[in-house]
Chain A
Amino acid sequence: MSSTDETVQPRALLSRRAAETVAALFTGAIGATVVIGSREYGTGWDSSGPQPGAFPFYVGLIIVAASLVNLVRGALAGAGPVFVDRLQARQAASFFLPIVAFVVLTVTLGIYVGAALYLFGVMVFQGGYRWWTALAVSLGVALFFFVVLERWFQVPLLKGPLEAALGIY
Chain B
Amino acid sequence: MDNLISLMHGFGVAATGFHLTLMVVGVLLGILVGVLPGLGAPNGVSLLLPLTFSMDPVSAIILLTSMYWGALFGGSTTSILFNIPGEPSSVATTFDGYPMAKQGRATEALSLAFLSAGFGALAGVVLITILSTWVAKFALRFSSPEYFAVYFLAFASFVGLGGTSPFKTIVSMMLGFAFATVGMDTISGSLRLTFGFNELLSGISFLVAVIGLFGIGELILTMEEGLRFDGIHAKVSPRDVLATIQRMPRYWMTLLRSSLIGCWMGITPGGPTAASFMSYGLAKRFARNKEGFGKGRPEGVIAPETADHAAGTSAILPMLALGVPGSATAAVMMGGLMIWGLNPGPMLFIEKPDFVWGLVASMYLGNVVAVVLVLATVPFFAAILRIPFAIIGPVIVVVCFIGAYTVSSSMFDLWLALGFGVVGYVFKKLDYPVAPLVLAMVLGDKAEDAFRQSMIMSRGSLAIFWSNPLVACMTALAVALLLWPLIGMAQDRLRASRAVAPVG
- A residues near B (Cβ < 8 Å) are 16, 19-20, 23, 27, 30-31, 34, 37-38, 41, 45-53, 55-56, 59-60, 62-63, 66-67, 69-70, 73, 83-84, 88-89, 91-92, 94-96, 98-100, 102-103, 106-107, 111, 115, 118-119, 122-123, 126-129, 137, 141, 145, 148-149, 153-158
Q: 9 closest Cβ contacts across the A-B interface?
A: A49-B455, A127-B390, A95-B223, A92-B224, A52-B188, A37-B193, A66-B170, A56-B181, A115-B398
With A46-B460, A70-B168 in contact, is A41–B188 under 8 Å at CB?
A: yes
B303 to chain A, nearest CB (A): 29
New contact pairs (20) apart from A94-B223, A118-B394, A148-B32, CB-CB < 8 Å: A19-B430, A31-B178, A38-B181, A50-B451, A52-B192, A56-B181, A56-B193, A59-B178, A62-B170, A63-B178, A66-B168, A83-B429, A89-B224, A91-B226, A92-B221, A95-B223, A103-B401, A118-B397, A129-B391, A137-B391
By beta carbon, the residue of chain B nearest A71 is B167
A41-B195 Cα distance, complex, nearest whole Å: 12
Known: A19-B430, A41-B188, A47-B459. A122 touches B394 (CB 8 A): yes
Q: Complex: how many Å from CA A120 to CA B395? A: 11
Least Cβ–Cβ distance between B211 and chain A, in angstroms: 12
Tell me which of A37, A52, A119, A158 contacts B394 (CB under 8 A): A119
Chain B minimum-CB-distance residue to A96: B220
**Nearest-neighbor residue (CB-CB) of B43 within chain A:** A155
Q: Let me know if B406 is at the binding interface, CB within 8 A.
A: yes
Considering the chains assembled together, what is the distance between the CA atoms of A157 and B406 in angstroms? 7
Q: Which residue of A19, A123, A153 is within 8 Å of B390 (Cβ)?
A: A123
Q: How far is the CA of A96 from the CA of B32 in the complex (A)?
A: 27
Partner of B224, one of A30, A67, A91, A141: A91
Decide: A95 and B219 in contact? CB cutoff 8 A: yes
> Which residue of the partner chain A has the closest CB to B429?
A83
A155 and B47 within 8 A (CB) = yes
Interface string of B403-425 (1 = CB under 8 A from A): 00110010100110010011001
Q: Which B419-468 residues have a C-beta within 8 angstroms of A?
A: 421-422, 425-427, 429-430, 432, 448, 451-452, 454-456, 459-460
The answer on a CB contact under 8 Å between B224 and A153 is: no
The answer to whether the Cβ of B393 comes within 8 Å of any Cβ in the partner chain is yes
Is B198 an interface residue when CB atoms closer than 8 A count as contact?
no
Q: Is the CB of B167 within 8 A of A66?
A: yes
A106 and B401 contact, CB distance less than 8 A: yes
Chain B residues near A37 (CB, 8 Å)? 192-193, 195
Interface status of B216 (Cβ within 8 A of chain A): yes
B63 to chain A, nearest CB (A): 15
Contact between chains at B171 and A48 (CB < 8 Å): no
Q: Name the B residues within 8 Å of A89 (CB-CB).
A: 224
Whether the pair B188, A103 counts as a contact (CB closer than 8 A) is no
Q: Is the CB of B224 within 8 A of A111?
A: no
User: What is the CB-to-nearest-CB distance from B183 to chain A, in angstroms, rounded to a whole number?
Assistant: 11
Per the bound structure, the CA–CA distance linking A67 and B454 in Å amounts to 31
Complex Cα distance, B426 from A19, in Å, reads 8
CB distance from B341 to the nearest CB of A (A): 25
Number of contacts between A and B (CB, 8 Å)?
Answer: 181
Cβ-defined contact, B178 with A107, below 8 A: no
CB distance from A33 to the nearest CB of B (A): 8
Q: Which residues of A contact B429 (CB under 8 A)?
A: 19, 83-84
Known contacts A19-B426, A73-B167, A119-B398; is A59 also within 8 Å of B460 by CB? no
Of residues B168, B220, B397, B398, which shows the largest number of chain A Cβ atoms within 10 Å of its Cβ?
A: B398
Q: A34-B178, A49-B460, A95-B220 are in contact. Are A103 and B391 (CB under 8 A)?
A: no
**Chain B, range 182-197, C-beta contacts under 8 Å to A:** 185, 187-188, 190, 192-193, 195
With an 8 A cutoff between CB atoms, is B292 at the interface? no
A45 touches B460 (CB 8 A): yes
Contact A99 B44 (CB under 8 A): no
| Proximity string of chain B (215-252) to chain A, C-beta cutoff 8 Å, 1 when within and 0 when not | 01001110111100000000000000000000000000
Q: Is B206 an interface residue (CB 8 A)?
A: no
Task: Please name all residues of chain B whose beta carbon is closer than 8 Å to the beta carbon of A99 when the two chains form the complex.
Answer: 216, 397, 418, 421
The reply to whether B401 and A102 form a contact with Cβ atoms under 8 Å apart is yes
- Kindly state the separation between the CA atoms of A160 and B77 in the bound complex, as whole angstroms: 32
Q: Please give, as numbers and ranges, the residues of chain B lying within 8 Å of A73 by CB-CB distance.
A: 165, 167
* B226-A157 in contact (CB<8A): no
Cβ contacts under 8 Å, A122 to chain B: 390, 394
**CA A95 – CA B421 in complex, angstroms?**
12
Max chain B C-beta neighbours (<10 A), residue from A20, A51, A63 = A63
A128 contacts which chain B residues (CB < 8 A)? 390
Minimal beta-carbon separation of B352 from chain A (angstroms): 30
In contact, B415 and A66 (Cβ under 8 angstroms): no
What CA separation (Å) do A102 and B427 show in the bound complex? 23
Residues on the A chain within 8 Å of B406, using CB: 149, 155, 157
Least CB distance, B376 to chain A, in whole angstroms? 20
Tell me which residues across on chain B come within 8 A of A145, comparing CB atoms: 398, 402
B163 in the interface, Cβ–Cβ < 8 Å?
Answer: no
Cβ contacts A to B, 14 pairs, < 8 Å: A23-B426, A27-B171, A34-B193, A49-B454, A52-B187, A56-B192, A59-B174, A63-B174, A89-B224, A92-B221, A96-B220, A96-B223, A141-B395, A153-B33
Contact A119 B395 (CB under 8 A): yes
